[in-house]
Structures are given as structure tokens and as C-alpha cells.
Structure 1
Amino acid sequence: MQLNRCLPFLVLFVLSLWGGDLLAVPSSAPESWGERTVSPSLQLPQSIRQQNEAAVPALETVPGRLQPADVSSLLSADDVAAGEGADDAEENEDLLTLVDPEAIEEALILTEDETSPPEDEGATIAVTELQFDFPVVENQKVQYYIDYFTGPGRNVFSRWLERSPRYLPYMQEVFAAEGLPRDLVYLSIVESGLNPKAYSWAHASGPWQFIPSTGKIFGLEADYWWDERRDFEKSTYAAARFLKELYGVFNGNWYLAVAAYNAGPGAVARAIERSGSSDFWMISHNLHLPLETRNYVPKLLAVLLIAKQPGKYGFTDTQFLEPIACDTVTVEGPVDLAVVARLADSSYGEIKALNPELKRWCTPPKQQNYQINLPLGTKDDFLAAYAELPATQRRDYKVHKLAKGETLKGLAKQYRLSVNDILRANSLSTAKAVKVGRNLAIPLRAGVEVIPREDLLDDPVVSKIAKSRSYKVKKGDTLSKIARNSGATLAQLKSWNRLTDRSRLQIGQVLRVGPGKKAAQSSTAKAKTTTKKAGSQIAKKPASSAGKKIVHKVKKGDTVYGIARQYAVNPAQVLSWNNLGSEHILQPGQNLTVRVQNRKGG
């Protein structure tokens, strides 16, 4: 059966497994779509509802989704069949030294944990003076993110603008061909900053941040050697089809479709049912949607408004990248990229940049006919040189998984190399760093080009490295117990890990239990260097321990939102200070702790 014919069923099936989001899928398994999560107000077609109901029994036996602790090397190549299941713990340690400072900076801006947008968006006005094919409005929330991206996030946003002409024109053609608004491609900036190597703690990858299971549903393959989610062409087609499905599910409401791309349609459907409204801004007034999702649509609108008129916001010296122009050829069997670069009179770095889906130093060994991009104008010379190159000269390396009882000295003897040759090939300084189960690149001949270290390891979860400490859930653990032991509040754990009161912990699940040293350093530096733009509403959230402590006695009719407005703080802060969940119901007479800097009035 062709994918497009079974797409509605497949989409609804995979979405029922989430209840979470593409960018930040909750670690614990949520309730399925089938558990009364589809509101009658969505008016799903009867045929789709029947398909969904038929799929529900099967969901009972579906194991938990991929957890951050489940990262493994999926080696599929013939010459590395014995290397499956590499030692990820050691590789993850190596990743800490590989993360580019710019990547960390972008991750912090994309996740924007230090922001505090207004809960009330105020008057919402349609934008008419600019031409969009996507509904664009202005309000206080949108303005907040305009100020944020043009203030603290200016340097990062400038990089996103520089990348946009390299990728967006092609993306727009794909979206137009699929009947989607061209302006909707700017959602990829909110997702990844147009960084093909963007990789989240939930294992979402590429410009459109697909998680592995969803990527596979839409035909995007990924293993040890390659990841089609990082391919701009293939992932953009997949994103277009997915957004098109969401648009249909939510009855032609683009804001709800976009919110569902982030939080998952199950979460959006529940929010609609609980709030009694299908208006995104009305739903955002309560805590039915995750905080990230409530800010997701305003961020997209802010990106659109800035990108359409960058000069108005001071982006006048942006060095725009040229659109990608390349030749494409088909190679037979695995070929090392260093060999491709030599034959194309190019560089390893340029070949990698033109083929972001390639995670390693070689084309996927099991793909016998693989299309690879070359610098424009090099196709004929490459094909001529490639035809003359013996098949035995197309590979510079093979992979060997170190088995129990093996030593580097023994490997060196086996492959007629020195121990130093193996260490050098794997960017290692000592044999003590090599543990059983590690995948080692073995040079096939002397004098081959050294593989860049980042191509020996899995993608770094930049946001996790930049911001988090982690804890692996053990048998008998509860969220309250983990919170006590880690020194965090229950509300903080839920916020950091996108958990709800109905989330269930799983043994082996990895939770973020603290902001991490780097995040603290980054926040401190940001506070020292950021200058506040005139008229900007941006203000750093006060620490939970700062300010004057006030005890507020709940009265009849009080809400968390109303109390927060009374004391000029964030509702999320009120919840955090009092260890309350997002669905907690206030009771008259209940005492709440509120911390304020400068209380005005009563």
C-alpha cells in the first residue's frame, strides 16, 4: 500500500502513541488518543474515527516510547554487523567536548527557559499592511517575542536569517506543491533554527525535528550511518504532509494545527475539550496546554513579522547565505566521503555540508545505490575518476566493535597496524579510554585522512548538554521522591520534563533534575550583557528564593492566573512556589506563598 493512501490512519496511529510533542516528547507514556482524548467539537470524519477506534486495542500492548536512556548505535552495515550496541555511556562523555558554543547558544534561545512572556495576550489585531499567506496577528505575546528575538536573541536570530535563503526558497516550493502556505516554512526556524544537526533530548532531529517513530511513519529512515530527518528535501516533504493532516484534523485552523505539531494533537484535543473553546488564544489563557505550546504560535508569528521586514528591526548587515546549488550522482556500494572529496576536487567538510543526512564518514554500507550531492560543476570529473577507481580503494576505514577479551594490541596485529594508528584514527590519546563494546574505526591502509571526531560519535543532545542534569528512574521511584532527593520542586520536575499529573514514570526513563552548571553560567552572562530595548516587556524571572514572601489566602473565585496578575508574577511561579500541579484546583481558605520584588497596591 502506498504511503499517501494509508497516511490518515498512520498519522492518527502514531499520534495516539504520543499525546506529547515533536520537539519535546514527554518521557513517560501518556494516555492514548483513544482514551476519550478526541473532542466531539473536532468533528473528525467518521471513517477516521472508526480507524482510530480499531487501533486502540493494539495500543494497550505498545511498549513505552524511546527514552533518552535508550540511545544506541544502530549499526546496519555489513562490515559492522558485529558492532551493534556500542558503549553509549563513554561516547556521551566524549560529546561534551564536541558541542560548538554557537549550537549551545542557539539551543538556549530555542528553548528560552529564561523568558517570561505575558499570560494575557491583550488585544489581537490582524496584520494587513504586510502580505502573508498564513494568518498573522499582533498582540502582546507576539510583541514580547519580537522584542526577545531582536534583543537577547539578536545574535542567534541573525544567524537564522543568514541561513534562510539557503533553505527556505526550496522549502516554500515544496509547501506550495502540497497546497500549504509558503509562509508556514518559517516554522522550521522555530523548530531548529534551520540547523540540520539540531538534535533534542527527545531524539527529535533535523530542521523539522521529527522523532524517530514519526520520521519512519513518513518515510524518513535513520540508523548508525545516516538520518534522513536531517535531509532538507525529504524532511520538508514529510513535514508538509504531516502539517496538512493536522490542518484537516483541526478543521482548517492553522493555529491549532501548528500547536499540535508541537504538543501533539492529543494534547490539543484535550485542551479544546477542557476549555470549551477551539480558539488558540482562549485555550492559552489556562494551563491545559504545555507552556512551550502556549508560546509556540506567538514565536512563529514573531519570526514571520521580523523575517518579512528585517530592516525595520535593525537586521541591516546580515550576510545571507547563497541557495544550495549542487550536482547529484549515484554511487555503488559504500564510499568514504574523503574519497568522494578527492575525486570531486573538493573538501571533506564541503561534502558533509552538502549531505547533512550522512552522520558518519561514509555512505550507508547497505545502500548499494546511493545519491550523493557534489559541488556544482564537478559531476563529470567525479564520474570519470570514480569509474577508474577500484572498488577496494573506495573505503579508507572499516568499523570493529571491541569484544570482551580483545585488546588494541591484538587488533593492531590483526589489521597490521600500530596501536597508535588505531588511537589516531579514533581521536584517542590512550588505550585506557577504550572499553568493551566501543566501535572503533580501523584504517584500511596507511596515510588515510583522519576522520573528524564528531563523525565517530552520535549526535550530541545540545540542549541537554547546555542545560540539564539528569536522573535515571529506578524501581520504586516516584516523582515526589525524585524531587526531594534532587532539591527540586515537583512543579519544576514536571516543567523541565514536560510531564502532567497523568504522566507515568518508567524504569530507565531519564529525567532532567536541575538546570545544570552551563545553563547557570549562561543565564548569569546573559543577565550581565543584555541591554533592555526601549519599550520591551522582557524581564528575567525572579529566582524562587528572591523577593518578599507573602502569604495569600485563597478566596472564592480566585484562580492561579488571577493571583499571579495581582502580584505581577507568573502563574507558573505560583505553582512552583507551592508545589502544585498545573491542574490543581484552589480551595477557599488555602494559603499560597507568593514572592514579589516590589509589591504595588493590595
Structure 2
Amino acid sequence: MKNLIYFAFLLTFTFGFSQKKTESLKIQHSENAKVHFKDSPVLFFTNTDSLILQVHPQAMLIDSLWINKLIKSPLYDKELYILGEDEMFVADLEELSTELLKSRLKHLNSKTPFKIQYNPELEQIIRTYLQKRKSSISTIMERARYFFPMFEEHLAKYNIPMELKYLAVIESALNPNARSRAGATGLWQFMYPTGKFYNLEVSSYIDERSDPYRATEAACKYLASLHKMYGDWSMVLAAYNYGPGNVSKAIRRAGGSTNYWNIRKYLPRETAAYVPAFYATLYIFEYAKEHNLKSKEKAISYYATDTVQVKRQLTFSQITETLNIDIEVLKFLNPQYKLEIIPYIEDKNYILTLPIKDIGNFVSNERLIYAYADLEDSKEERPLQELIKLEEKITHKVKRGEYLGKIAAIHGVEESNLKKWNNLKSTKLQVGQNLVVYTKNTNPIAAVKETPTNDDNKEQTYYIVKLGDSLWSIAKKYSNVSVQNIKDWNNIWSVKSLKPGIKLKILN
């Protein structure tokens, strides 16, 4: 019934918008030859018909609000969750008496396949999390509203207890880009050999351990195989953290017992604390309401997305400039692409995940997007290069409120380059920190010599940005005007700068 109501609402919503005046972009297409005309990524075909892309201003406004919420949501925070060995444990917590905790743990034990028993150490861990990690838990709960539905779908497929979704909380704090000092990566913290065993590709371009869907599928297969070995979910947790071979050694030292609590004293400190940490997380999430724990925001619950298989190599920037999708959204939905490049290799299925509202635009304009990518790639093939001096750089002192993306936008450089130039392993910055910045057309390795263009004889006009515009669609309105021209003339470095009402200078 819920789905029927939702479908009826969509029909009404769509019909209501269809009565409004819409803007349209006409694109000629066919199955025949294509020709590029100078800087304009236009396709012409011999058998033409017309495809009209409609842009509803009201829908675009809703989309922009959605993106704004997504970018500013806690999904991008990097939170510390696991307790450190040197942290003092909380002995007392007024809101949680020992008797109340015993009663709740008994209830959890009765409805889960895990052997959850009260012990003073577990009580201390739960109390410490509730007191010292309250902010982090709220952030992770927000991430959980996004990831847990997908986890639950996979867990159900492999007949694995739903409670194991909390395993990803203690592994990565639900950060798909999490990476441990040992090299474990992604939501489920796969090491390289385990990831390869479960067919998670790792290359210069891609790390599928960070792909939420593929990594979750692999994690479920791994958990299912561990349960076949041990027949006990607490032992599965220990083996997931410490490795099956090491757990087998602990079983031998415990005289052959396969009860987790019997072998626990033969496990290293980290693994001995791992299962109690899981039980503590299970308790906290199941009794979040009783402890007044809630998500930091209501922005993220579930966002409809869809996938499309790419047919040529594409960069996130090319997708951003053609479809006007914020690059941070692309990064969030496609964390497996390490260089913000989706590769194309025959017999490989590399997919692009987009908000469902953008999938139709991508499919309808696929040939044009690839044509634009061809043009952009061809511009990079410039033979004349010369080394430049390292003195041709500036130093940026980090001010309060600044973050890496903001500093990159100020200087018109890529965030990834800022990290590379300053050997940054994360995006965390300190106020007063000095960053090396190589400004526009400057690179510590090479700079390109170009023939300067003479814009003095060109007529200057202005274009007012409308809802639904992208740099690409604006460039197509003028002859011999490229996306890069508009960027240069108006000092635009990010798609975030393109907002309705902005006046753009056009030389034509």
C-alpha cells in the first residue's frame, strides 16, 4: 500500500510540474557519423531527429537543496569511534544502572543469535561510549540511515543476522574511504589479500574495497564462510578481526573449546576488546532512543540512486561540467574511483552511480558527454613543456573556518593536488598551518607553453545563469566558445560558483 501511495504521489507530482512552463535543450542525434566543431562539443548526425531535455525550475530548486544537505551532512565527517587503549573507562553513569543494563542485555540476548551476557567489562565499555562518544555516535547514526538499508538487503540475501550491520560501525565508523595503518580499506576494512580473494579489484584507478555495494557483497560472503567454519557468531566476529588461522591457534590453546569467552584470554588485546565493542555498539543502537541519541540532522535517510555503465573513460570534472552535478556528490556516490576517473577497459563493467534524477540526463546525452570528453582529453595532448622553478609557488596560511576544498577553490587548483603538494594523508588542517600552492598554469613538474589568444577584438556580452544551466549548456549557446573560455573569462574554478542569477561575461 505504501508503494502504491508513493507511486500515485509521483504521478500527481510529475503531472503538476508538466503543466508548468519548462526550459528545453534540443540535441540532434542519430546512429551515424559525428563531427566536432572546434571548441563546441556538438554532435551532428546524418539522420536527425530531436530530443528535448526538459528542466523544471521547481524540481531543480529541490535538487539543489538536496545536494546542499548532502554535502553539509555528517556523511563527510571523519569521526573517531573505537576507544583507545589509554582512555579512562567510565565506572558510573546515572542514566544506566547495573540492574537496568542486565535487563536490557537479557532482552537483546533473547532476540539475537549472539551470546550476549552481562559482565562488568562490557558495562564499562557501554558507559564509556555513552559518555565519551555521544557526538560520534550521532554522526554515525546519520551515516547508518544511508548505508544500513543496503547492508540489510545483502545480509538477508545470505541469511546473516541483521545485527552484523553494526560490524561496519566498529570497523570503519561507516566511512567508505576509511583506511587503517595496516592498509585495511573501506566500510568493511578489507586487507588487500582478502579483498582479492573476494574479487575486489585494486588498481591505480580503482579500489573496490571502497565500493559500498561490492564490498558489502564480499563481506557477506566472508561472514557466511566464517560461520560455516565456527558455527558461532561471536567466533565469527573474532575471526573477522584476528583472522581464522589465528583464532584456530587460540582454540588449540584453550583445549579445543570453540566458545568465544573460553578462548578470549588467548586472543590479543585488540581482538579481546573487539567482540565487547560490537556488543556495546549493538546495545547503543538498539537503545538509542532511551539514551536520547539521535542523528545530527534529518537530511540523510535514503536517496534513490541508479547506475550506468560507462563506455569510455570519464573524469568526475567532465561529468560535473556537462550535467552540473556537484563533484562532492560524485565523490560520495563513487568512492571506489581513487583518482576521480572512471576507467574504460573492454570486458570490464565500470559503473557510475548518480542520483536517479540525473540518470535520465546522462543516458539521453551520453554521446554528447563522450564527445565533450574527447575534446577535453585532446586539449591535454600538448607537446611543448618546460620545467619551471620551485620558487614559482605561494604559501597559504590556514585561517579559522577554512578547509582543503575551500582553499583549493580560492586558488583555482584541485584538492587532490593540494594534498599531493603538501604530502597530506587526510583533509584535516590546523589553523596557522602553511600550505604550498602552485597557482593556475603552474605545476611543480611542468608548465605548458600556449599561444596567447587575443580577446581585444571580440564583442563582450553577458549571460544570466538560469536554473538548470551548466557551463557546457551555456557554451553551446555561442559559437566558438568553450567551457574553459567561460571559466577563464569569469574566474570560475568550481561548479559551485554557477548559481542562478549570476552574470557571466562572454567574448564572442
**Which TM-score applies when normalising by structure 1?**
0.48
The whole-number CA distance in structure 1 between the counterparts of 2:77 and 2:327 is 24
Structure 1 residues 462 and 340: alpha-carbon distance in aligned structure 2, compared to 1, 3 A threshold: closer
2:232 aligned residue (227, 250, 253): 253
Q: Is it true that 1:272 corresponds to 2:244 in the alignment?
A: no
The whole-number CA distance in structure 2 between the counterparts of 1:220 and 1:332 is 21
Question: 1:292-339 CA deviation, whole Å, 9 max, x = no partner?
Answer: 100000010111111112122231464252224212112112101111
The whole-number CA distance in structure 1 between the counterparts of 2:85 and 2:377 is 42
- For 2:79, give the aligned amino acid: E
Structure 1 residues 128 and 111: alpha-carbon distance in aligned structure 2, compared to 1, 3 A threshold: closer
Q: Which ranges in structure 1 are unaligned for 5 or more consecutive residues?
A: 1-100, 401-410, 431-448, 467-602
2:146 aligned residue (157, 162, 166): 166
The equivalent residue for 2:383 is 414
Q: Is it true that 1:153 corresponds to 2:153 in the alignment?
A: no
SS of equivalent residue, structure 1 residue 114: coil
2:288 aligned residue (287, 295, 310): 310
Structure 1 residues 161 and 282: alpha-carbon distance in aligned structure 2, compared to 1, 3 A threshold: same
1:47-66 alignment, distance < 5 Å: none
The whole-number CA distance in structure 2 between the counterparts of 1:399 and 1:194 is 39
8 Å Cα contact 1:328-1:379 kept in structure 2: yes
- For 1:150, give the aligned amino acid: L
The whole-number CA distance in structure 1 between the counterparts of 2:190 and 2:84 is 20
Structure 1 window deviating more from structure 2 (314-323 vs 195-204): it is: 314-323
The equivalent residue for 2:27 is none
SS of equivalent residue, structure 1 residue 127: helix
Question: 1:158-210 CA deviation, whole Å, 9 max, x = no partner?
Answer: 21111101001110110111011011111000100000010011110000000
Structure 1 residues 132 and 346: alpha-carbon distance in aligned structure 2, compared to 1, 3 A threshold: farther
The equivalent residue for 1:340 is 319
Structure 1 residues 117 and 296: alpha-carbon distance in aligned structure 2, compared to 1, 3 A threshold: farther
Q: Is it true that 1:236 corresponds to 2:216 in the alignment?
A: yes
Question: 1:544-596 CA deviation, whole Å, 9 max, x = no partner?
Answer: xxxxxxxxxxxxxxxxxxxxxxxxxxxxxxxxxxxxxxxxxxxxxxxxxxxxx
1:115 aligned residue (87, 96, 99): 87
Alpha-carbon shift at residue 147 of structure 1 (Å) = 1.4
The equivalent residue for 2:162 is 182
SS of equivalent residue, structure 2 residue 309: strand
8 Å Cα contact 1:183-1:304 kept in structure 2: yes
The whole-number CA distance in structure 2 between the counterparts of 1:390 and 1:174 is 34
Q: Is it true that 1:289 corresponds to 2:267 in the alignment?
A: yes
Q: Is it true that 1:358 corresponds to 2:358 in the alignment?
A: no
Q: Is it true that 1:211 corresponds to 2:211 in the alignment?
A: no
8 Å Cα contact 1:199-1:460 kept in structure 2: no
The whole-number CA distance in structure 2 between the counterparts of 1:399 and 1:273 is 64
Q: Is it true that 1:106 corresponds to 2:79 in the alignment?
A: yes
SS of equivalent residue, structure 2 residue 107: coil
1:148-547 alignment, distance < 5 Å: 148-250=128-230, 252-276=231-255, 277-284=257-264, 286=265, 288-316=266-294, 318-320=296-298, 321-366=300-345, 369-391=349-371, 393-394=373-374, 396=376, 414-415=383-384, 429=394, 450-453=413-416
Structure 1 residues 454 and 297: alpha-carbon distance in aligned structure 2, compared to 1, 3 A threshold: farther
CA RMSD in angstroms comes to 4.0
Alpha-carbon shift at residue 397 of structure 1 (Å) = 6.2
SS of equivalent residue, structure 1 residue 357: coil
The whole-number CA distance in structure 2 between the counterparts of 1:423 and 1:384 is 47
Structure 1 residues 213 and 282: alpha-carbon distance in aligned structure 2, compared to 1, 3 A threshold: same
8 Å Cα contact 2:75-2:139 kept in structure 1: no
The whole-number CA distance in structure 2 between the counterparts of 1:462 and 1:283 is 37
Structure having the higher Rg: 2
8 Å Cα contact 1:124-1:138 kept in structure 2: yes
Structure 1 residues 223 and 193: alpha-carbon distance in aligned structure 2, compared to 1, 3 A threshold: same
SS of equivalent residue, structure 1 residue 110: coil
SS of equivalent residue, structure 2 residue 351: strand
Alpha-carbon shift at residue 124 of structure 1 (Å) = 8.3
Alpha-carbon shift at residue 104 of structure 1 (Å) = 9.8
The whole-number CA distance in structure 2 between the counterparts of 1:366 and 1:423 is 40
The equivalent residue for 1:16 is none
The whole-number CA distance in structure 1 between the counterparts of 2:343 and 2:371 is 15
SS of equivalent residue, structure 1 residue 329: strand
Alpha-carbon shift at residue 460 of structure 1 (Å) = 7.1
Alpha-carbon shift at residue 353 of structure 1 (Å) = 0.8
8 Å Cα contact 2:209-2:215 kept in structure 1: yes
8 Å Cα contact 1:247-1:253 kept in structure 2: yes
What's the % identity of the aligned pairs? Answer: 27
Structure 1 residues 302 and 399: alpha-carbon distance in aligned structure 2, compared to 1, 3 A threshold: farther
**Which TM-score applies when normalising by structure 2?**
0.57
Structure 1 residues 245 and 215: alpha-carbon distance in aligned structure 2, compared to 1, 3 A threshold: same
8 Å Cα contact 2:105-2:283 kept in structure 1: no
Alpha-carbon shift at residue 356 of structure 1 (Å) = 1.1
- For 1:340, give the aligned amino acid: I
Aligned residues: 327
Question: 1:13-61 CA deviation, whole Å, 9 max, x = no partner?
Answer: xxxxxxxxxxxxxxxxxxxxxxxxxxxxxxxxxxxxxxxxxxxxxxxxx
The whole-number CA distance in structure 1 between the counterparts of 2:387 and 2:307 is 38
SS of equivalent residue, structure 1 residue 372: strand
The equivalent residue for 1:489 is none
8 Å Cα contact 1:203-1:211 kept in structure 2: yes
Alpha-carbon shift at residue 390 of structure 1 (Å) = 5.0
SS of equivalent residue, structure 1 residue 224: coil
- For 1:265, give the aligned amino acid: P
